[in-house]
Every structure is written in structure tokens, then in C-alpha cells.
Structure 1
């Protein structure tokens, strides 16, 4: 590849997706770099085909990116990616966000990835804490569908298929025992939907909403070279994009940074293979293409319609649309010529739609034709703006709003093309209840080269406006319509940055979750409330804590005066539990009140360069788990974080003296000052100094230290000899884990100090765990280790290498693949007791 070509390609291919794609909060845009001849081609290529395809998957990153790039960018097919959940149960390779916050990140990454491949994205999961949630790894599709709600997931999938009406559907995975249960579940319901989406008796409520049944024409599943029906040439090089479709697909995968996705591939032939699983037509052993035997062009569609009574004029119109599409392509890359041909085709599509609507065609045929023409209309609107070089923007005075606020928005249209457009109308769209008043002209007779039209609106946000929802469509959009060459086009645009309605006083509580040691019930709980003022200008508010009955808090309240919006101040409270506090779960809620406004929410700002800024609005609370916990006095721990967990923060809350070790510390500091050194999950893969200093760590153990190593994957540069006695991680990784958090645990060495000092561990301590028991369990280990537990998923062999500990010299070495990084933040009492025992271990 020529130097710099691929870098430039990445910039060019992150352009806005086809009009008709789902509208999402956007990352910061490089508007100038995103325009030009490549985006023009991306906009007009879909005009050449009326075919559509859908790829279904379970999580963000499940999409078949190379195949999607081939279909969308290469063939112009109307391509959609349907993903079930938001990836909340995964790991985070760019920060410490987990659960819902991680789901927000992965959703934004998926949205940006879909832009690269020009793919329409839909999610079955619709909101925070949706039933279709990534609850962690599962070995069972039955468990997955039970937790999601099988009817909920299936109804949403059928609804999506009936709405988008794909000709071809491709589930991303097979229903095989070695595959993630979430992947298997999506395969199962996708395969089942092939017939059910066409059956009006399945979810008949859809028809009452105007959503009609749809028969998918072909369903393909992933296959191998020796068993395929179709092979997709993803290695084909596209001169316009300066890359192969595999490379384009990987550019989209690089957007999944929280999962460490994306690989660099050299040029050359490569194929993806698929097997035809179901079809409504003729089955062939080998096919040249997904769409063999399916109408692909307007001419093909005209031939299908020919046999229908009263279709004569419609057939002629469809053939004319074929000529229109050919003319658009022939005009490329001459922008003005393309614009003229696009608008001629747009006018013809509008006329054809009207004729189809008025025709006596069979109702099913009429619905199908109108859908395909509507898709084409949306594509033509996009192509029009690209060909005319219109730069369209909606710009807020501020992106951070509060209920009851007044602000301004401007809608602009800049003409960078060589031909004028007429009757330009700039319209602002707002949620129900919001009010907009135009304070300038909104319609312009003509917009010529290098001219900008601007409409300014005063906007009033109602007092009962709903707070920002990260998975909802943008609250504010704009429609820009204009006329050219006898046809009107309209583009829907969104602000470049997320516009969010936030709490007037957004509070962050530290800690957000903590332990109340019932052995020391009167020990005060410090709670720091950090308040950000989102109200415009100066403001005053009172901060107080709502605590459980019988508890006390000092001070009762604190008054804060803010000089300006965006200012942040903090208040420190001390909470003391009641004398008779019992082991249980308790909640402290922060309340901000002032200027007639009250807030009990916080707004976590989530900001990364590749996804821009978004927010997680959540209750401003502290979760408190009360239970008995013994912690040795003066215990000193050195923590080596990979950045993927925050257990060190919780150890400090429990009363442990924790120091986060730097690379310099690990390489040259006196490690013997620490009673214990803990390596965070996957630390060897992300802290390179550990590999070069591993002998120092083992020497630390040999001299009497306590080293605790949490789970690793083989790709984390783990080698059996890194441990004092070899530990080999089991592969394939999917099989070496326990996913049932309620699975029975047998303590094999009940007298071991890890189960007795300083906390006595009983069977009760294995209750109330979340998501998983363990991940990436060892398959082989030295005889020197004590096997501490046995545990497995129901119906499977139990693992005995999950929790291993050995004496080495004067010290101790413990390797554990238990998912502490999930259990400790969830304040699982047994997990906390055992972790404290683990960092307290001595010979």
C-alpha cells in the first residue's frame, strides 16, 4: 500500500451514512475532509440497485465488517446491521467504564463503525437497563433468550425485518455448542424469522401499526471453503476507495477501541464463505452471488412486475429509472452533471411512487414497490446534497441544556457547488413540548456558489422535559429542503456534537458504592458530593443527603453559590449508620434544590476522541452494602493496574493502604515494603514492564512477599513460566469459564488460610454473585499449587484450577481466574471477604 493512502482512506470513509440510516449522536466531524469525490461515489452507487441485505449479531463488533463493506460500498446494496445488545457485560480496553457506561461507549463505537461501511444500524436493545442486556458470557442460547425475554427479542427482530424488508439475511454466527450463547440465540431467532416474518399470524399487532409481513428471499449462514454456496471476494481492491473491502471493513473495526478490534491486512485475494440455509426460490449448490435469482436492478424489478395486471405504465417507469441510474453513474465525477441527473431521477421516482399508489396492482406488490422507491428517494436526497456540494449544519448555542432554559439554534446551508439552488428552506425539528420561534428568515429564494443561508431559532425547553437518553435519537434535528432542476430534495441533519438535556445541578458522589462494616457500625462514612452547575449563568443551590431511617448526616445541608454555568464545587458530608444496623443493602441519595429546581441525578461525561462526547444520566446515589469484614491493621498493598479494573479504589475503602505502582516502581523500587502486590486483570498484556521485571516479582515472593495475579488471556503475553510453577491457560477460551453465577462451589481446602484468615469463609459467601464465576481458567498447573475450589456450569465438568495458591520460598503466590473485577464493585460480601483474605495471606 502506498504511504499515507490508508490514513487518507480512513478520513474519507468516515462520512455521514446514507440518508435513511438511523440518526445518532455524532462524534466531532471533520466536515471538509469528509467531502469530495469519494463521498459522491458512496452516495450514488446505491442508486444502481434495488436489492437489500441484513446482517444480524448479538454484540457491538459482531458485524461481518468486510462483507458489509463489500455489499454496501462495493455493490451499493441497501445494507443493514442489526445488533441485539449494547455490550454492557464486556471488558473495557480504553478506560474503567463498565456495565451501562461501557454499553454507551460500545454503542457509539458501533455507530461510528457503521458510518465507515455506510451501513444502516438498528439495535434490538432500546434503552438503559433494557431486557436485552449483555449479562455476560453465556454457554446457552436458552439461558440467553430466557434472560432477554424470548418474545421481547423475537418481536423486535420480526418488527425490524418487516420494516426494513431485506432480500437477504445473514446471521453472524452459527448455532454451535462452542459458540457464545448470545451468538447462538441470535442465530436461532434469525433462522426462525425467515418464515415467521412472512406470517401475518405472528405478531398480528404489527399490521395494525401499518407494518406488513415480509418474506425474506434467502437466508445464508457462515460457512467454510469446502461447504459454501457463495463466496464473497472481500479481498477485491476498489480503486476509488484505495483499499480492499477487507481493509475497509477493518477500518470500521478499528472504531471498536474499547474491545481492541481492528487488524491491518495486506492486499490480495481473500474470501468470506456462506451457505444458503433457506430460500423462497430455487436452491442451487453453488451461486455466483447472494442475489442470484433476486431482482437486483430496476430492469430486474420491471421484469417481475410485467406479469401483474395493470402494470404496463409502471413497468415503463421502472425501466426509465434504470436509465436514470445509468445516467447518474455515467456523469460521475462531474458534480454538476451528477446533480442534474440525480434530480431528474428524483422527479421520476416521485412520479412513479404516485402512479404505484394509484394503481390497481396487488396490494403486496404495491407495498413492496413503494418501500423500494422510498429507499431510493432517501438515497437520492443524500446524493443530491453531495453532488451539489451543500454543507448543511444545525448548530446549538450550547450543547448542554436544562429544563426550562431558553437558547438559540441556527440552521445553515452553504453552497460549495457551481450551480445555484432555489427555494431553500431551513427548518428546526424539536421534541414534543419544546417551542421554537424563528427570529430570522427561514426561506431563501436562491443560494449561489460560496454563499451561506442561516436561519436562527429561539428555543424554549419545557420545565418537564425528559433528561438525556443516550440511546434515543437526537432531540434536535433540522430539515433543509431546496429545489434544483425541477425537483425538491430534503436532507435531515443532526448537530455535530451531542445536544443533551442534563440535570440543572449534576451531582457525582464519591464513593458511588461502599461497604459498611457492621463490626464497626459507628465508623463514619465520608461522602463527597461534587456538583456541576448546568443552569445558565449564576445559580444557588442547597445540597443535602437523604439517608436511611435512624442514620445521621453532618452537615444537614450545604449551600453552594455558582458564578457561572459549568462551574464545579464540592461538599463533604459524614454519614453515620444507626446503632442497630443489620447486614443489608442501603442507599444514600443526594438532593440539590434551588431556584425552583430540584435534582437527584448525576451526569457522567463520557468523552473519547473516536466517539466524541456523550453522557450517562443516572441517580445521584451511594450504594452501601453492610456486612461483617475483618481487615488487618496496617496492611500495605502495591497495586499494578491494567486500567481495566478499579479494585484498588475499593481496597482503600475497606481500610487497606494501597499504592498504585508505576513502571519505575516495578522496575527499581524496594518492593519488600509491600505486604502484598496485586496484578490487575490482564496486566502482563498492558504493563510491558511486568515482563522484563518478572524475575524481580518472583524474587519478591521468594523473600517473603505475597503476590496475587488475576486472570489473563494467552494473548496477554502470558506464558506458563511467568508463574513460579507453570500455569497454562485453557483454550479455546470459550470453554474454560464458568458463566452461571449461582453454580455450586466446593471449597477443596477449607482449612487453607484463604478461607479462614482474617475472615471465615462459608458456603453463604458464594451467594449473590453477579454475571460469572470465572473466566479463562487454567488447564494445567504445577503440583506445588493448592487447588482451593472446584466449580463448573451445570451439566459440565468442574474446574479445579480456578483458584490456585502456593508457597514459594518464604512467600506466597496466588493465581485466580475468579472475576473479582466484577464482584468487588458490585459489593458482593463473600467476594470482598475472600479478596481481603487473599491480600492478607502469609506463610
Structure 2
């Protein structure tokens, strides 16, 4: 990031200006002329305190953003956020990605949000398909921990606490029945970890790795205004940032665009409340601060150390660091003066570290002091970079690599400050097994104002290099060390976008999931394989399909020639199942063979302005679900997509004639040409033409049409009167859903056409559903509706409004809160058979 040195402070004078700054692309970074002094303040404020805090949550966006902004940006506290999973099970409000692809998006959004509040982010989930995943809504912490693997989740949380050693820990949620089971699970293990992280008999293998037990000083839980220990003034206005901490927190929340997060808040007082749950220091019923009774400054730490045998010298060092920090702050915003004070403090931290190591203090005290000094050293490196207006970059020739490739990567350092730097060393960091060879000098005697030094490296990627993992640390980074005012600092640089090792040939199958109708087993399955060449230059590949035993594919293989990297070509295949094919799940895999190696993966490019570019590498497979399915000939469906599902694509694969309806179609088109019109999930909230045209939709039904409406939330502009007979959505929403995908379903009216034509629906059709049964079920509905099913989670009253259908005039109106948008892409046979029945009424 470039840094500017200015005389005026960054201001966000209105909430509108706050949002205006958010809609600008963040990758590549847009230069703001007034950000230099704000970045400088963000870097030096943490030097004033040795305190630390940790917030724990389950999903991206669970973080207490306003409180984190207050602690980190306002108080300078070393603040961390520990989030369990990646949000894979959620919905997507900016695109069609779901599952792991959505988890990648939400992770990147969380990373960008954390940069805004200047916090340290960690996830318990470590990789794609990790045990700690977002498996969908849960009502139970026990179910959550069972699915995650309680021992796995707990070990990782204890490890984070012992590594980061927070003084204060705050779980984001309470363990209450009205709360998401994932949220409750994080509360349960966080509360338990308060004591266990300090117990050497808990996960003793961590101690063998070098970690030491850590006793958190205080554990706080979220509270309300009528019963709290600490009130956090998140509405306080910070003149440096030109915003309140609520507004700064919301600036970070706007990064969670796939969840539609972020709100506008006016300036003015507001508070967040917390109650002290456990503490090893003497507490009061009302505290002024999270850190009452806890060492907060170097002076506090010095007093503690001075009281111990052999601690006088170290205590003196700590007092000196307090003076250093005060002088850094006093020098603000004079960049050169701040830099001088920062480097004086760097030298004093090095001295204090050496004195601690040589002291006769207890092992526990030494470990604590060395950790806090290590945190301060890292903060000082950042403060040095900012105060010297040093800009360091890693600039790859390409961010898309393949195994065995050689490429060029340049490391640069630019001095935008007014003071001269000495002994600048540029170092490129590469993974184990990679080779980085500099093509010129990596060491420079000096770097003056407005000058750049750089080194280009030849980087060799090994032939066995692993394919890109989106949750791993960046593969290529740089460290730029330099000296100023008698002390050396290091600036750590990472690339703007992901540098990824991708398949030499990325393969995409279309479709990537389909149904094989066992009533027509010899009906051919057309498969298109799109191949993108990621090799650096011209190359050839033989493209083929691996099919199940007894199946056939034509052609057997097709050669492709590529003239350059990035070129894309397609090959068409026809797959036929064995004549004896049985209902089951099958896989077809695409293979690109070249030079004795094979590529069997695809590389989905994920690119959004607010998160930059990343990739999802996954096997190049076509999933085929074989089962009996009757689909009426000539069935015409008009689909009104909200952008949150792709059911229309699957209906087309089944032989249904699907037209995606435009606003003009809905407002003035001939709706009578469609046998059925389907509204996608939450369509009223995201298709603005629907509500003004609702009377046309109801008239379509009255005249004999078949209208299918999928679930809505109340905030999707849903009103009971949008239906021909009122339907009211249940609130709070958390209580009106069925989360057990294996829960028993009873068909209340088994003779209804929806259960009989063209497919006979039996109890077997409710098996093998995924993630959920239903969401946002109705609480009230008109007596005109037929209640089609009853269903509920274990131990709870069953819902009977999940699936409602009514005659209206000559036609039929069906409202369903079953989660079709998850079941259909997952090729759940019963869900597909039932959905076909829904769109086939009156045929």
C-alpha cells in the first residue's frame, strides 16, 4: 500500500462519506491523499499499551465489529478475532457461488474487514473440506460440536489462546436456546477454555511443541443495558478517524457483501455491554474498562516485574519503553520525528528482550515478557514502515503458475519519506522446495527520498508443487530490512492478489451435475469440457473422460493445440450409461494428458472488486444421479430468479422449457404462455418489478396458471397480502425452520396431485436430503390452503405450513419454504421428483 504524508487528518464527516469510500474498488488499491496520517496513527497507537483482547465467533461477520474497532483503533489494544468456520453453508447475495466457493469469498471478505479494524484474524477451520465447516443452521451446540469434532475444535481454540495469550476473551454470543447452534458451540468451548488453556494437562502435546499454558485474566460475555459490568462507548467520535467506532466497525462490516452486511449509523452516543463471567483478578460490579486490575501499560508491567526477585533491571527497561511510547505519540503527526522515536524504541525493545533472557526471573514471567516484547517488535516494524513512508511490494510476472514453471518476481522498496535509509536488503520468501535466485544485487547502501530499489528473482516452481489452497498463507512474500537512526527494522510485503499454482490445463465440465433418468437409461448425456491452458506458452493436450465401468464415451479422446497461455478451447463428448444402470450416484472425470502428466482439476476464478482475485481448485468432475423421473412433454416454465439459486438450469437439463423472465416480461409480457411461473427464493426482495406487478401474477393464477413461490424473509418486502390468501412468515426467524435434513416428514394429504403426478412420491423421496429441510416457515395462513406436510426437528412442535397449496380461480398457488435451492443442485432425487410435480400441475 502506498502511503502519503500530509498535514491534514483523514475525515469521514458523514455516514454517506463512509459508505462512499466503500464502493471504491479495494483491489487494486485506490490512492487517498489524506490517508497517510491515519495509517500512521493506526500503526503507533498500539505502542502505548501491552494489553490484549480476543473475540471468538463461529462465522465470518460474527465479530463484534464496533467493540473491535474501539479496542484496536481507539485504544491500541493488541486485538484478535478467532472465527471457527468459513461460512460455507450460507447464502450469497452477490453471486451464485455456494458451498466451498462461497466459503472462499467469505474468508476473503473477513480478511479485508479485519484490515479495516486493524485486528489479527485467525480461523479454526484450516483447509477446504475441513471438519470445522458451516454445515447449515443448527439449533444445538451438541450437534455442532459432534459434526465439527469437539476434540478437534477445542484443541485448535486452546492452541490459539496459548499462542496469542490474550488478557481478555469475549465470545460473540451467549449459549441461549434462541441462538444458532454454531454460535452456542463457540460460547461453550470458549468458556471452558478460560481455565483449560492454563492447565498443562490439557493437550500436553502442545507444550512439547513449545507452547506454554496461558491463563486468560478475564472472560466477558455479551450483556444488556440493565445488567452489565462494562459499557463500551462504541459511539464515541474519534477525531483522527473522523468517525465513531460504530461507524468504523460498520465500515468493516460493509466488506461482508456476500451477506449484505453493513448499515449506516448517525453520529451520537451508543454503547455495547458486557458482563464479567470469570476473572483471576479482583473485580467490581461495575468496571470502567475491560482492563481494570490488568496490566495495561509498560509502567503497569514494570511494577509487576519490579516486585519479583531479579526484576529491577528489566523493570527499568520497561519504564524506558513507556517513555519511548509517550514520545512517539507526542511526535505525531511529524513523520520524520515519529520515525526517530520509533527507532529509538526498537533499540530499547531489543535491549529489554536481551535483559529478560539474561535475567533470573521465573520461567513463566520470562515467557510472558518475551511474548509481549515480540508483539511490540512486530508493531514497531509496522510503525517504522508507516512513519518513514516506505512502500514495499511483491510484483510477480504472473500470479497464475503451474508446477515445473520458472517465472520472475520483483521485490521493490520505495522511500516516500524525507529521511534517508541505510543498508536496505531485499529478500523474497518462497515455499520449501521452490528456488528463488536473484538476478542482481539484493543489498543497497542507501535509499533516499523518492527513490526506488528493486531486485528481480528467477523463481522455479518444483514439478511436484501442490495446487493452490485458498486458506493457506501467501506462497510468495518479501521482507525488506533497513536501518535508520541506529536501529534496523523490517517491512513485510505480500502480493495484492493471490499467487496460485494452478492445473496446467484447467478443466470445466458442463454440466457439472445432472440427472440420468433410469426410465430412459440409453438417453445420451452431452458433456462439454472447456480447457484453459495455464502453461506459459504453446502446448498440446489430449482430452478424455473417465467414465464408470460399462459406460461408453464418444469420442475416446480429442487432441487440442494451444498457442499461448490463457487460451481456452472446448471439446464435446457424448456419454451413455450401461444398459443395466441402477439408481445410484456416478462420477465422470475429465482428463488432460500432456508430456506424461495428467491434469484432472478445474480452477474456478473468484474475482470481486472488494476482495480481489483468488481461486477454487477442485476435481474436474460431473456428478450424475440416476433415478426414475417422469417429466411431461412440452412443459413451459417462466422462472423469476433472484440471483440466489440456479434451479432453472437444472429444470432445463430435465427437459423442461425454461424462460428466465425479465422485468419487462413480468410487467407487460404474455404470462399465459407458461404452464408454470416459479419465483426464486427471496425474489420479492431483489426483483423490484414484482410487487408492482403482483396483481398480474395473481391474475395469471386466477386465469388457470400455476404459480410456485419459494421461501421469503419478512425483510424481503414480503407482506401476507402478496399471496392470494394471506401468508405470514414466522418470527423470530431462528425458530421457524427445520435444520435436521433427516427429520421425519409426514404427507398430510397423500392423495394430493403434488404427491402423485407425474411422479408418485413416497417416504423414500424424503431421504438423503442435505443440510436443512426448510427455512423461514409461515406462522399463519388462510384456511383456503391445503397443508401438504408436517415436519419438525426432534423434540419440537412440527410445522404444517412448510408446504401450502391452494386453488385460486382456475389455477393453483403453491408456497413452499423447503430448501429447494440446496436440494436440487445436490441432485437429491426426491426433491427433484417433487419439484417436477410442482411445476407440472394442470398438465
Matches within 5 A, 1:502-651: 502-651=502-651
Q: Deviations over 1:525-546 (max 9, x none)?
A: 0111011100001111110000
Contact 1:650 1:825 in 2 (8 A): yes
The aligned residue for residue 18 of structure 1 is: none
Partner of 2:306: 306
Cα gap change, 1:762 to 1:234, in 2 (>3 Å) = same
Three-state SS of the structure 1 residue aligned to 2:615 is strand
> How far did residue 498 of structure 1 move?
1.1
- TM normalised by structure 1 equals 0.98
Post-superposition offset of 1:33: 5.3
Q: Indicate the larger mover: 39-48 or 493-502.
A: 493-502
Question: What is the CA–CA distance in structure 1 between the aligned matches of 2:242 and 2:464, rounded to whole Å?
Answer: 51
Aligned to 1:23: none
Equivalents in 2 of 1:305, 1:131: separation in Å? 43
The Cα shift of 1:491 comes to: 1.5
Deviations 1:188-224 (A, max 9, x none): 0000000000000000001000010000000000000
CA distance in 1, matches of 2:22, 2:691: 38
Matched residue, 1:669: 669
Distance in 2 of aligned mates of 1:304 and 1:265: 42
Partner Cα separation in structure 1 for residue 605 and residue 203 of structure 2: 39
Distance change in 2, residues 1:33/1:509 (3 Å)? farther
- Residues of 1 paired with 2:110 and 2:355: CA distance? 39
Provide the secondary structure at the position in 2 that maps to 1:336. Answer: helix
For the aligned residues, what is the CA RMSD? 1.4
Per-residue CA deviation, residues 763-816 of structure 1 (Å, 9 max, x unaligned), is 000000000000000000000000000000000000000000000000000000
How much has 1:663 moved relative to structure 2?
Answer: 0.3
Superimposed CA distance per residue, residues 61-115 of structure 1 (whole angstroms, 9 cap, x where no aligned partner) = 0000000000000000000000000000000000110000000000000000000
Q: Residue 638 of structure 1 contacts residue 660 of structure 1 at CA under 8 Å; is this kept in 2?
A: yes
**Cross-structure match for 2:733:** 733
Bigger CA drift: 62-71 or 591-600? 591-600
Aligned to 1:255: 255
* 563-572 or 594-603: bigger deviation: 594-603
Partner Cα separation in structure 2 for residue 28 and residue 109 of structure 1: 15
| CA deviation after TM superposition for structure 1 residue 229, in Å | 0.2
Contact 1:707–1:812 (8 Å) recurs in 2: yes
Write the deviation string for residues 705-763 of structure 1: whole angstroms up to 9, x where unpaired: 00000000000000000000000000000000000000000000000000000000000
Is contact 1:12-1:33 (8 Å) kept? Answer: no
Q: How does 1:282-297 map to 2 (within 5 A)?
A: 282-297=282-297
* Distance (whole Å) between structure 2 residues aligned to residue 9 and residue 389 of structure 1: 25
CA distance in 1, matches of 2:16, 2:110: 20
Please name the residue that 1:391 is paired with.
391
**Partner residue of 1:350?**
350
1:475 maps onto 2:475 in alignment = yes
SS in 1 for 2:343: helix
Q: Which secondary structure does the structure 1 equivalent of 2:690 belong to?
A: helix
Describe the shift of the 1:11–1:668 C-alpha distance in structure 2 as closer, same or farther (beyond 3 A).
Answer: closer
Call closer, same or farther: CA 1:792–1:33 in 2, change over 3 Å. farther
Q: Which residue in 2 is equivalent to 1:174?
A: 174
The unaligned stretches of length 5 or more in structure 2 are 1-9
CA deviations 1:367-411 (Å, max 9, x no partner) are 000000000000000000000000100100001000000000000
Asked if structure 2 preserves the Cα contact closer than 8 Å seen for 1:222 and 1:274, the reply is yes
Q: Is the 2:11–2:243 Cα contact (8 Å) retained in structure 1?
A: no
Please show how residues 260-409 of structure 1 align to structure 2 within 5 Å.
Answer: 260-409=260-409
Q: After superposition, what is the alpha-carbon deviation per residue over 1:537-580, rounded to whole angstroms, capped at 9, x for unaligned?
A: 11111100000011110111111111110011111111000100
CA distance in 2, matches of 1:613, 1:37: 29
Q: Distance in 1 between matches of 2:357 and 2:519?
A: 76
**Partner of residue 828, structure 1:** 828
> 1:819 aligns to what?
819
Q: What displacement does 1:596 show?
A: 3.6
Match of residue 788 from structure 2: 788
Aligned-pair CA distance for 1:597? 3.1
The structural deviation recorded for 1:595 is 3.1
Q: Structure 2: how far apart are the matches of 1:781 and 1:398?
A: 58
CA distance in 1, matches of 2:23, 2:418: 25
Q: Distance in 1 between matches of 2:334 and 2:46?
A: 18
Count of residue pairs brought into register by the alignment: 833
Unaligned runs of 5+ in 1: 16-25
Corresponding residue number in structure 2 for 1:766: 766
Q: How far apart, in 2, do the equivalents of 1:238 and 1:605 lie?
A: 39
Q: Do the aligned partners of residues 99 and 290 (structure 1) sit closer, same or farther apart at CA in structure 2, a change above 3 Å counting?
A: same
What SS does structure 1 have at the residue aligned with 2:226? Answer: helix
- Matching of residue 493 in structure 1 with residue 493 in structure 2: yes
Q: Is the 8 A contact 1:14 1:112 kept in 2?
A: no
Structure 1 position 28, deviation (Å) = 2.9
Deviations 1:146-201 (A, max 9, x none): 00000000000000000000000000000000000000000000000000000000
- Whether the 8 Å CA contact 1:9–1:242 is kept in 2: the answer is no
From the superposition, tell whether residues 836 and 9 of structure 1 become closer, same or farther in structure 2 (CA, over 3 Å): closer
Aligned mates of 1:652, 1:110 — CA distance in 2: 36
Q: Secondary structure at the match of 1:665?
A: helix
CA distance in 2, matches of 1:580, 1:400: 44
For 1:338 and 1:715, the matched residues in 2 are separated by 50
Could you say which residue in structure 2 is the equivalent of 1:21?
none
CA distance in 1, matches of 2:597, 2:39: 47
Does 1:136 pair with 2:124? no
Partner of 1:216: 216
| C-alpha deviation, 1:283, in angstroms | 2.3
| Distance of 2:325 and 2:842 partners within structure 1 | 77
Please tell me whether the aligned partners of residues 602 and 620 of structure 1 are also in contact (alpha carbons under 8 angstroms). yes
The reply to whether residue 73 of structure 1 matches residue 76 of structure 2 is: no
The aligned runs of 1:706-725 (5 Å cut-off) are 706-725=706-725
Shift of residue 496 of structure 1? 1.1
* Distance in 1 between residues matched to 2:269 and 2:65, nearest whole Å: 16
Q: Residue in 2 aligned with 1:436?
A: 436
1:45 aligns with 2:45: yes
Q: Which residue of 1 aligns with 2:94?
A: 94
Deviation string for 1:308-332 (max 9, x for gaps)? 1000100100000000000000000
| d(CA) in 1 for partners of 2:318, 2:20 | 36
- Is the 8 Å Cα contact of residues 504 and 597 (structure 1) preserved in structure 2? no
Q: Is structure 2 residue 622 aligned with structure 1 residue 653?
A: no
SS state at 2:691 partner: helix
